[in-house]
Amino acid sequence: MTLAIERSSRHSGGQLLQLGVGVAIVVLVAALTHLVAILLIPDVATEDAYNLLARHGGINRMTVLAPTRPGDTLIPFRDPATTQGICFYDVSKAPVRVRTHTEDGRLLTLSFRTPNGKVFYSMTDRAAFQNTIDIRLISAGQLQTIEDNEDQSEQDVPTELRLKVPEPRGLMVATALIARPSERQDAERRITAITCASEPLPAS
Specify the CATH number of the domain 49-198.
2.60.120
Between 35 and 138, the more confident residue is 138
pLDDT at residue 192 above 80? yes
pLDDT at residue 92 above 70? yes
Are 167 and 114 contacting, i.e. CB atoms less than 8 angstroms apart?
yes
* Measured distance CA(74)–CA(91) in Å, rounded: 24
Share of the chain above pLDDT 90, in %: 32
DSSP secondary structure code for residue 59 in this structure = B
What pLDDT, in 10s, does the model give residues 95-104?
999 999 998 8
* Measured distance CA(25)–CA(44) in Å, rounded: 27
